[in-house]
Amino acid sequence: MARILITSAIPYINGIKHLGNLVGSQLPADLYARYMRSRGNEVLFLCATDEHGTPAELAAAKAGKPVEQYCAEMWAVQKDLSDGFGLSFDKFGRSSSEQNRRLTQHFAGRLADAGLIEEVVESQVYSHADGRFLPDRYIEGTCPNCGYDKARGDQCENCTKQLDPTDLIEPRSAISGSTDLEVRETKHLYLKQRSLRGELQAWIDSKTDWPILTTSIAKKWLNDGDGLQDRGITRDLDWGVPVKRGDQPWPGMEDKVFYVWFDAPIEYIACAKEWTDALGRPDDDWERWWRTDRGADDVKYVQFMGKDNVPFHTLSFPATIIGSGEPWKLVDYIKSFNYLNYDGGQFSTSQGRGVFMDQALEILPADYWRWWLLSHAPESSDSEFTWENFQASVNKDLADVLGNFVSRITKFCRSKFGEGVPSGGEWGPDEEALIARLEDGLAKYSAQMEAMEVRKSAAELRALWVLGNEYLQSAAPWVVFKEDPDRAAAIVRLALNLVRLYAVISAPFIPDAAARMLSSMNTLDTSWPDDVRAALGALPAGHAFAVPDVLFRKITDEEVEDWKAKFSGRRT
């Protein structure tokens, strides 16, 4: 049994996330977590809300609420939506937690003691219209590298280049749109990342199994002439982790907070402490997941994120951990994703364009979305959501293949043998051939899941569903029954067991439907089919079952047209 630590990128607190956000981190992380649990591994799957900084302050002000109240309410909303999509977090925490505050201040103190923090007088943008300094993310302009006209002051989303606000061409306030900006001097703390270049280089070079997307972004940032820079870790804001050196005041920093990109990743660690506290476990139990001197050296740590988060997770967060000089667990594998676009354009939170998580669940159950998103995950390149493609995938894969198989065999058995697994008959060459094909297909499916190849895993799973339909069509128990009821019983008995097998192996993708399949088969047996022959005898003759309701209904052309119009612009 392996021990596997899984984290997905921490979502901002300011609003409900769209499907592009979901498939870029949390959903594939859940797929991997569910699969690894099903294979008997010890898994700790963590996520949290990213609650500090200007995004939270502005969203709270817009809502007319204190920022603490707003964050608490939005955490509950995001938690409900994650539950609605079946995201199986062991802990969904908050970066505003007391544990994260203490750990962030602890890391800052350790870095300062190591000589890796320096005070820098920097030029920062002040907006007269807004009456405040503007954090990096709230300054927009044209990227000097690629010409993208909506680049943010910390990073260009188009080319992923790390930026400072003063690098932008024709900068403007993302809050008010004002160009009445002034550069003023202010003092901040900087993490001396360049001092850690050698350690970061050696660590990144050792990760020869990382996806090309992850490695290319990490090495580009590390090796470009202006790639790895010392990075400010404090901001002139009210809401955030107060700047302290451990538990001691930091002179000159009394009115500042730590930069959200410094404290947010530390919540991955803090979240584990919150998890053990909630379970009433010993105070140091969480450390066996995070400290290599307490047992974390045998943990495999996997992160899931969109490509825009890769630089911070391959450079800045590792710099914090390495620079602390303490034996914290570094990530072993980073699964990164490109962008999911929406129907000829981009998902847009600001414009309300595309499907958001709450809206998705209002029109269809989570498994419909889980299947499409995972089977079209933007791994090797950006992918695009279209309603026509969504309709085709749901109707052909879920309704016509898996749903049809379950419906046909359960209804046929009820009509000819009753609601119990029939006895009689023996397996023949058709069944032996099917078992061989299932064994081969399961091996391929497992290999792709182990490798975190999401789309390929979905394709292999669908191919396994197809085998059942092909077997039923070829064996034709409805025809055989007229001449040889015992032979028909053997076919049906195998097929009903195949329903249970499909439920088990499909659960990482479509957990709700899998649970319904198991319920209809009247079994709690979720053991992985390592031995296919034995698995196809798990439900013995006489075992009672029930015909389930329709697993997946088909999406109509009329619904597609209605949804295309509904989700083309701003949310109402």
Residues belonging to the binding site are 143, 146, 156, 159, 349
The pLDDT score that the predictor gives to residue 571 is 53
For residue 170, give the amino acid letter. Answer: E
The fold of 1-114+197-225+260-337 is Rossmann fold (3.40.50)
Which ranges in the chain are annotated with CATH 3.40.50.620? 1-114+197-225+260-337
Q: Each residue of 312-341: pLDDT tens digit?
A: 999 999 999 999 999 999 999 999 999 999
Phi, psi values for residue 335, rounded to 5°: -95, 110
Edge-to-edge strand ranges of the sheet holding 383-385: 345-346, 340-342, 383-385
Overall CATH class of domain 387-535: mainly alpha
Q: Are 366 and 84 in contact (CB under 8 A)?
A: yes
Low-confidence ranges of the chain (pLDDT < 70): 225-227, 350, 569-572
Which residue in this structure is represented by tokens 């979502």? 11
Residues 479-531 have pLDDT tens digits of 999 999 999 999 999 999 999 999 999 999 999 999 999 999 999 999 999 99
Nearest alpha carbon to residue 67 among 53, 47, 86: 53
Is 344 buried (19+), middle (13-18) or exposed (0-12) by CB count in 10 A? exposed
- Cα-trace Rg, the chain: 27
Q: Give the span between the Cα atoms of 422 and 493, in whole angstroms.
A: 6
Q: How many CB atoms lie within 10 A of CB 476?
A: 12
Q: Strand ranges (DSSP E) for 154-267?
A: 169-173, 181-191, 231-232, 234-235, 244-245, 248-249, 257-258
pLDDT for residue 432: 97
> Which residues of the chain form CATH 1.10.730.10?
387-535
- 48, containing H or E segment: strand 42-49
Which positions make up the binding site for ATP?
Answer: 349
- Tell me the three state secondary structure of residue 173: strand
C-beta separation of 535 from 529 below 8 A: yes
| Neighbour-count burial of 269, counting CB atoms closer than 10 A to its CB (0-12 exposed, 13-18 middle, 19+ buried) | buried
Please tell me the predicted confidence (pLDDT) of residue 572: 47
Judged by DSSP in three states, 295 sits in: coil
User: What distance in Å separates the CA atoms of residue 65 and residue 57, rounded to the nearest whole number?
Assistant: 10
Q: What order do you get walking across the sheet with 3-8 strand by strand?
A: 91-94, 42-49, 3-8, 299-306, 333-337
Among 423, 377, 367, smallest CA distance to 399 is for 367
User: Tokens 């049809």, residue?
Assistant: 404
Q: Which two tokens stand for residue 216?
A: 């290319």
For 13, the 3-state DSSP assignment is coil
Look at residues 332, 445, 308 and name the one whose alpha carbon lies nearest to residue 21.
308
What tokens appear for 477 in the block? 């128990």
Binding-site residues for Zn(2+):
143, 146, 156, 159
Closest-CA residue to 22 (of 9, 32, 34): 9
CB 464 within 8 A of CB 441: yes
Nearest by Cα to 75 from 60, 86, 58: 60
Distance CA 301, CA 272 (A): 13
Strand partners, 495: none
Q: What is the pLDDT of residues 97-128, one digit of tens each?
A: 999 999 999 999 999 999 999 999 988 888 99
CA pair distance 66, 571, nearest whole angstrom: 24
Q: Give the helix, strand, coil percentages of the chain, each rounded to 5.
A: 50, 15, 35
